[in-house]
Structures are given as C-alpha cells and as structure tokens.
Structure 1
Amino acid sequence: MPNAVLPDIPHYIAAPPTQEKLDYAVLAVLDFSKIGTPEGHAELRGTAPCLLISLSLNDIQNDRMFDITDVALCGVPEEEKRNYLANISDGSNEGYKLRAYLHIDGGVRDQFEYYNIRMMKYYPRSADDEVKAKQVWLKGHTDIGTVTVLWSQPVKSLQVLMPDGQWRYVRHIDNALVVNSGDAMEFLSGGFYKPTKHRVVEPPQDQRGYNRLSVIFFAATDDKRHWDDDADAPTMEAWRKGRTSTYGLVELKKKEDDGRAELSVQLRDAMKTHGFFYIVNHGLTQAENDRMYDIADVALSGVPEEEKRNYLANIKGDGSYQGYKLRGYLHIDGGVRDQIDHYNINHDISRKQHPQAVRPLLPEVEEFAKFNHYQVLHPLMRLFALGLELPEDTFVAMHNFETIGESYVRMMKYYPRSADDEVKAKQVWLKGHTDIGTVTILWSQPVTALQVLMPGGQWRYVKHIDNALVVNSGDAMEFLSGGFYKPTIHRVVQPPQDQRGYNRLSVIFFAMTDDNVKLVPRAESPVLKKHGIQRRWADDADAPTMEAWRKGVTSTYGLVELKKKEDGTEENIVNGIAVKYYS
C-alpha cells in the first residue's frame, strides 16, 4: 500500500481467539515469500484450500482493511445502503446485500450483510433460528470464480469439507490468507483442480457475542473468456450471472408440510425485499411453454386487423380487457401512444366469442388457464396465507374457477416505435404501475424490457430464466393483507440495442379474486395483529369489491389525465383510492 495520509476511522475490535477445542482441518501453510523460487513453485502447485503466510502487507495494513470494512457495513445508515443495493437478480453482487435476502434452511433467512468488493459481516441469530437451520449460517457450496482469497479473522465458523466427508474448521493465523479454488478453475483445468466445498456455521460458545467481519477477494477470469473450445462451455460472465441470479428462487416442487412452511417464508420475504420472485419446477415443460407462445402469436399475428376489430374489448364501458386491445389506445407520455396489441381470454373461455384462427386452440388455452389457476395460483395463495399465519385455504376460497371473476390469460405483443417517439416517451413503453389483482404470473421470455422498482428507488431489469415464471403481487393482495404484502411497481422500457429488431411477445396469467369478494384486510391474522394494518381507505365499509376495483382502474388506465405529484409520480383517484403511476 502507498505511504499516504489516510483518513481517520474507528478501529474495529476483533474477537479474541476461542478457547474451545475444535476439529481443525489440516491445511497446507505456504510461505508466499517463496513464490518466485523453484521450491516455492513446487510447494504451491495444486494446493487448495491452503493458508498463505509471509505476505507483503503487514499487520497494520491488514487491520486497516478490517477498519474500512466496518465503516462500509456499520458506518452507513440502512436507508443509504438501500440506494446502493446490488442487482443480484441480474447476476451481479456489486453493491450491498442486506440481511434476510437468502434462504438458509428450515424457513430461516441469512443474517449477514456484504458490500462488494466483498466486505462481509455475520450477525448473531436467535436460538430458535439456530435450531431450525441446524447451526448453519451459509450452506456448503463452491465459489464461482478461479480462486477466493479470504483474509484470516479470529471468529471460528468457516469449515471445509474434507476428503473423508467430515466438515472441519479452518484455523486462524494472524495476517494470513485462506485461499480456495472455485468452479472456474475446475473448468479451466478439466477437473484437475477441484473447487473447495465450504460453509459457515455458528461460532463456538465463547465467540457468539461477536459479529464475524470478513474481507474477501473473489477472483474470476475476464467476463468473455470461455473455459475451452467446447461449444457448450459458458463464459465467465454467463456462469457468474447464472449462479448469482438463482439465489432466492421459489420452487413449487416441495409439497410436504415442512416444504410449504419453508416456501411461505421465502415468498413472504420476497414480497418484502424484491417485490417479485421466480418459480421453477412448476410442472410444465419447455415444449409446453413454447406451445403457448405459438398460440399467442396466432392470436396476435394470425388474425387479420379487420377481424380483430370484431372482437374488441369494451375497456372503457365494461372495465374489462376481455377481447382485443389494439395499438394506439393508451397514452404513454409526451403525446406518444402505445405500440402494444393484446388479446385476453377469460378463464371461462365461453364468456366471449373468439376469432376463427383461435377457436381450434381454445381447449389448449383453457387447460393452460386451469394449470395456472390450480397448479400455480392456488399453491401460491396457500403460501400467502401461511405467511400471515392464516388457515391455508383463506385466499384459495376467494379464487374459484367456476365462479364469476376476471382471472384471464393475456397474449401480448410489443412492437418497436420510432426514434422520435422513444425520445418523447423517455424510452418507456408502459408506465410504472401496480397490477389490479392478487398475483400476476408472467411466463419468462428473452426480450429484456421488464423492470421493477427496487426499495432504493432504482429501476432494475428482470432477468430471463428459461421456462421460469416471474410472479408479482398486486393491489388486491395488498388490500387483503392490510398492506403487509406490497404490490410490485414495474414498467416496460425499450429493449437493449441488440434486441430492438424483435417484437416482444408475452404470455401472462392475471389472477383476481371472485368478483364479489370485498377486499378488506384479514384482521384475524396474528401477523397483522403484530405488525399493524395499513388501509387505503378510512373505513372497511368503503373497501371496494374485486369487481369494482377492477372496473374502476381498467376503465381509466391510459385514458384520463393524471395529476402530477411533487415526488415525480402521477395519480388518478379510483373509488376514493389513489392509483399511482411512475416514470
């Protein structure tokens, strides 16, 4: 490090060494001063994990980095941290990851924060959470890159999985580095160098009153580097983004009671942190997913414009999207109209007549609607109820397939706009908004244009994952949960340059309760009794039904002049409730 006048910062006080007898891993201790010698080369070759000593940094310089880390994690207010959150769902760890983002085990969320370059702090958990998570703070895993360089610190909780199948602690040596290899080195070496399996567990008893502060350097190759000439081998960027972005996925494959309880915590926390989540292992194959996109393209590109006009939705009059909405109907911004067509089919496909080309495909659409309703929506509604500690069928009972309601399949296509319109509308294709119903189930597609508004106020892209579902909650779920589940604010913008020659086709299932359900908070929820209820009206007698809310928002969306607010948002009043829109 250069000799310079450094700013004064508080000194971080590390934990004292543990006095407990632990089962330590036998790791090589390598003298880094020998790295330039032949014997050093031989000693260092192929040894990982290992401890490196005799570094060019002294104890004072080492301690200084821990002081800086403590500033980043303890010297920055929580509110300010949220302005610098990492966009993890897009495959990047650059910025802050706050506590409770990751699921560990038994419904327990993580209790660590980091700021990258990786400055990391683990905080103690409750005794109950330790039991549920089996004392594991971070599950056993391998790292993504080539090597990981951890500056040794005294709180004993890092373990490595040894060849005999036993987890053993990594010993602390002052001013040493703990080095392990990762996936990328395994790939580059054709499996010769194995990635180190490691985890973090609860520290020994005499160190449990201390936070565990870490300074780590994660090394990876250049983003565009391939592992070898294998056509299927990923680049470093693809591998990093793929692994990083899959944290927090909700898998509906778990059916047992413990699995549902665990998933309800994942879902509840996703609604409080991301506002949306992915679903994988839902039960439809990629081929079945592709088939629905083929059907959507028939409805939007295989029906003549003149015939479409015979099946227009009466959006303003009925407050319903059932049928076609054609381009140019909605005002976006700066005098620019939308370039979106959509065709909407009620879950009861007999509610409306359909164009000739779509009629032979209706049985498949009906089966798709039933799949979304029974295999995705109902399991989600059980999880939402469990998250509020309500009987698990509380919300399921409000979503009946055979009852009059507006849940529907939307087939939607965005068309490119002129360069002039892009400037006038600030590249926004659909203004930031929340959805009307309980949840929206979007079948992921590759044209990158969907963004969500994160807690720190930044718009972040939603990453595409093949055959995954992107799920967000809507106004109705906010009303029913007394504000506990926040509706996701999202928008659609112009795609990146290399995708602008493609139309953006989407298949979506918009879920709503039965029309006659009054959207009042479930005040009997123990969670709401503890956290309080936020209402968007003065008295529950004023709460709208699902039908009234749906008609009020639908019949005015994109058609009425919005009132601009000082915070930059715009709003319209529906049934006495402010409906906000975001640029």
Structure 2
Amino acid sequence: MLDTLNEIPTLSLADQQSDPDGFAQAFGQSFQRFGFAVVKDHGVPQALIERAWAATKAFFDLPEDEKRGYFVEGGGGARGYTPFKTEIAKGAQYVDLKEFWHVGRELAKGHRFEDSMSPNIWPDRPEGFRDTFLTLFQAFDDAGDKLLSAVARYLGLAPNWFDSAVKDGNSVLRLLHYPPVDANAPEVRAGAHEDINLITLLLGAEEAGLELLDRDGKWLAVKPPEGAMVVNVGDMLQRLTNHVLPSTTHRVVNPPAERRGHSRYSMPFFLHPAPDFLIKALPGCVTAQNPEREPPITAHDYLAERLAEIGLIKK
C-alpha cells in the first residue's frame, strides 16, 4: 500500500500521547518507505522558533571578517562558524553553496566525553544568541527522544531503548544560510547526500528546494506544511537497522529564477548517539534474506570517517 504514495504524509506527534503504537506504526512506515517523515505538533514552541530565525538571520548578516573570527581551522566544523563553499557532498563535483554555524551539547567540566566533543563557541552578537540556541537545542533533543521512542516501538524494542544510546550524545544543531545564487549557477545549494547521524529533525523546509531520491530513481520534492518538521533517517540508524530503515539520498536544489535573489535559511538538528555507542545491526533486523551488512563500529569512529569524506576534516 505504501508504494502507491507519491508524497510523504503529515503526522501529528500529539497522537503519540493517546495512541503510541498507532503513531509508531505510521511514523515507522513513513521511515521505511521514504526514509523521511513530516511531523507537525512537534512541541518546539513557535515563539522560540521565531526568535531563533531572527538570531540566525542577524548572525549571517554580520560582516564576513567578523563571522570568520569564529571559524576554527582544523576543527572539522564541529562548533562555531563554517564559511561559504567549505562542505562538499561525498563524490560531488561542486562544493555546497552554504555557510553554517554549529551548536553542540554543553558538557560539565571533566565530563567523560570532553575529549571527543568540542566546547561550544558563542558570538558576541546578536544579543541573546547563546540562550536562544541552548533552549532550542534542548527542545529539539526532547522532540528527538519522542521520535526515537516511536522508532523503537516500530522495531519491536522497548519504548525507552534509545535512551541510554543518546544520553550525552554528540548531537549538533546547525544554523544554515544559503545566500542568493546567480541565475546560471551550475552548483546546487547542497549536493545529493545522506546524513551521518541517527535521525535529523529539520525546521525551515517550507522554502522550496529540499528533494529526496525516491525508489524509482526520481527526485521527490519535500513540501511540509508551515511550521511542520521534516525528519529523516541518518546513516547510523540505517546501519543499526541493517538497512530496514533507509538513509535516503537528498539534496537542496537551486530555486526557480524568481527566487534566486532570496536567501534560504534552515535549522537541522542532527541527533547523534554518545561517542562510545556501538553501532551494530539489531538482531531483529538480521534475517536469512537480509544478513548483517556491515561490521560494528563506534559512533565516534564512524563520524570521523564520514567527516573526512565530506571535506570537513583531513585524513
């Protein structure tokens, strides 16, 4: 039945409270069919989102020299600012037409992951930047926990199965700015790629451009209702589920001519497990027809491999 769908259905996270199994089935089926889901009523307050958009735009409007002062050479883009045309999709010909800022988890001094998770960097302006994005990080984290609980139910695991896996996880909130593009630009704003992490929670996909590569080899535009969140499977979850849940290739294409003079902003939250979490195919996802595809690897080692592939760290 799901194969007849030509667009991703919009689900309400509010349904999880009254019917957790029903929501889990709908969410899991969307993940298994598309590698993507669209979720409204996600619990991230609209006032906070609006504050975050304002702060994002204000930061990227700062002078180039000021922004570059927050770039950490050799830091792999883990925290702070990454300049325009730095990241490139694996195997792509052109670099992505974007600049971004990363916010990570705040760790107490002496935390066991202090060596593998960089401390946050905070700009002097705009005012309130730190408080806004620490609050938003927590709101995304809370929504992610609920969605992972649905994934666990769908896979026949305990609803809290992911809790220990993502406790103090190396998640990243990315503030993205795609500047206006030339009418004849050969590049796309973000080349075809898959995400590295467990799941990605994205705000800002209402501005056209996000597309996923469907099973038939055609690109399918992702068009969420205003305020809804786009959620997708990352490579770590694909590996953990032995490809039962696919990490679908996606891209951000250049806009139509009439929108090329406009910037595009988005805020993806890349939900990662803890660095020492072992990504090993779940027994329930390994069958005679689907034998274990990849060897176990820690989340930290896998992340390092992938960051090298996309040009953020040197091998």
Percent of aligned pairs with the same amino acid: 22
Q: How does 1:60-79 map to 2 (within 5 A)?
A: none
Classify 1:306/1:437 alpha carbon distance in 2 versus 1 (closer, same or farther; 3 Å): same
Structure-1 separation of matches of 2:156 and 2:53:
37
1:449 touches 1:492 (CA, 8 Å); kept in 2? yes
1:248 touches 1:266 (CA, 8 Å); kept in 2? no
Q: How far does residue 533 in structure 1 lie from its aligned partner after superposition? A: 4.5
2:16 touches 2:22 (CA, 8 Å); kept in 1? no
Q: How far does residue 349 in structure 1 lie from its aligned partner after superposition? A: 7.9
Structure-2 separation of matches of 1:382 and 1:356:
37
1:415 touches 1:503 (CA, 8 Å); kept in 2? yes
Q: How far does residue 557 in structure 1 lie from its aligned partner after superposition? A: 0.3
Q: How far does residue 331 in structure 1 lie from its aligned partner after superposition? A: 4.9
Alignment partner, residue 322 of structure 1: 79
2:207 to 427, 444, 447: 447
Q: How does 1:155-174 map to 2 (within 5 A)?
A: none
1:438 touches 1:477 (CA, 8 Å); kept in 2? yes
- TM score, norm. by length of structure 2: 0.86
Over alpha carbons, which structure has the higher Rg? 1
3-state SS of 1:311 partner: coil
1:442 touches 1:470 (CA, 8 Å); kept in 2? yes
Classify 1:442/1:331 alpha carbon distance in 2 versus 1 (closer, same or farther; 3 Å): closer
Structure-2 separation of matches of 1:440 and 1:559:
19
Alignment partner, residue 2 of structure 2: 100
- TM score, norm. by length of structure 1: 0.48
2:136 to 357, 364, 368: 368
3-state SS of 1:273 partner: helix
1:444 touches 1:465 (CA, 8 Å); kept in 2? no
Q: How does 1:69-468 map to 2 (within 5 A)?
A: 99-100=1-2, 248-256=9-17, 259-301=19-61, 303-314=62-73, 317-331=74-88, 336-348=94-106, 351-358=119-126, 360-374=128-142, 376-400=143-167, 403=168, 405-422=169-186, 425=187, 428-468=188-228
Alignment partner, residue 510 of structure 1: 270
Alignment partner, residue 238 of structure 2: 478
Q: How far does residue 367 in structure 1 lie from its aligned partner after superposition? A: 1.2
Classify 1:463/1:349 alpha carbon distance in 2 versus 1 (closer, same or farther; 3 Å): farther
Classify 1:269/1:313 alpha carbon distance in 2 versus 1 (closer, same or farther; 3 Å): farther
Classify 1:559/1:360 alpha carbon distance in 2 versus 1 (closer, same or farther; 3 Å): closer
Q: How far does residue 530 in structure 1 lie from its aligned partner after superposition? A: 5.6
Q: How far does residue 276 in structure 1 lie from its aligned partner after superposition? A: 0.8
3-state SS of 2:246 partner: coil
2:197 touches 2:236 (CA, 8 Å); kept in 1? yes
2:183 touches 2:257 (CA, 8 Å); kept in 1? no
Classify 1:530/1:386 alpha carbon distance in 2 versus 1 (closer, same or farther; 3 Å): farther
Cα deviation 1:378-400 (Å, max 9, x = unaligned): 11111111111011111122111
Q: How does 1:486-525 map to 2 (within 5 A)?
A: 486-523=246-283, 525=284
Classify 1:530/1:510 alpha carbon distance in 2 versus 1 (closer, same or farther; 3 Å): same
3-state SS of 2:20 partner: helix
2:100 touches 2:174 (CA, 8 Å); kept in 1? yes
1:449 touches 1:461 (CA, 8 Å); kept in 2? yes
Structure-2 separation of matches of 1:546 and 1:274:
24
Structure-1 separation of matches of 2:250 and 2:272:
18
2:77 touches 2:102 (CA, 8 Å); kept in 1? no
* Larger relative contact order (Cα-Cα within 8 Å, sequence gap ≥ 6): 2
Structure-2 separation of matches of 1:319 and 1:535:
31
5+ residue gaps, structure 1: 1-98, 102-112, 115-243, 561-573, 575-583
Cα deviation 1:438-493 (Å, max 9, x = unaligned): 01111134321110001111011111411100000100101111211111210111
Q: How far does residue 406 in structure 1 lie from its aligned partner after superposition? A: 2.3
Alignment partner, residue 4 of structure 1: none
3-state SS of 1:491 partner: strand
State whether structure 2 residue 302 is matched by structure 1 residue 549: yes
Classify 1:559/1:468 alpha carbon distance in 2 versus 1 (closer, same or farther; 3 Å): closer
Q: Which amino acid aligns with 2:241?
A: S
CA RMSD in angstroms, aligned pairs only: 2.7
